[in-house]
Amino acid sequence: MKYSELTRRYFEHSAHAGVLSGPGVSRGSAGDREHGAWVQFAVQARSGAIQDVRFLAFACPHTIAVSAWLAENSVGSAVKPAMIESVQALQERFAVPVYKLGRLIIVEDAWLAAMAAAIDSAGERPHVW
């Protein structure tokens, strides 16, 4: 399979891959290794803002690259039940083939689970607009 330059770069240099622990860390995961894709995000939040993010993934290069990009680019953003970019925008950004769209849904589900855990641990509920 031919991967875009962006996908190769984030797959080969996943600076936010790994484990995060300590105060204010919440985790969320989705997928299943037995089915070929599992992603976990660990998010450290304080005062409603994301301070740090790490991820673990058992998945294809596209999934790992998107997870790495999301982890890197979410630092500093608000803790909210949404990703900083939609699945469709990430699919376009990383040139993910349509048949792998389900893998990006796993990334989204893991991210939303981590955000829900962060919101729950802070004892806050986001505003519904």
Q: Are 40 and 56 in contact (CB under 8 A)?
A: yes
Assigned domain for 98 exists: yes
Q: How many independent structural domains does the chain possess? A: 1
- Percentage of residues of the chain with pLDDT beyond 70: 95
Assigned domain for 28 exists: yes
Assigned domain for 127 exists: no
Token duo for residue 129: 């607009």
Assigned domain for 126 exists: no
Confidence bin at 124 (pLDDT 50/70/90): low
The residue type at 88: Q
94: CATH: 3.90.1010.10
| Residue 74: domain span | 5-121
Q: Is the pTM of this model over 0.85?
A: yes
Q: What is the C-alpha to C-alpha distance for residues 45 and 38, in angstroms, rounded to an integer?
A: 23
Place of tokens 């770069």: 9
When comparing pLDDT for 3 and 128, which is higher? Answer: 3
Token duo for residue 111: 């991210």
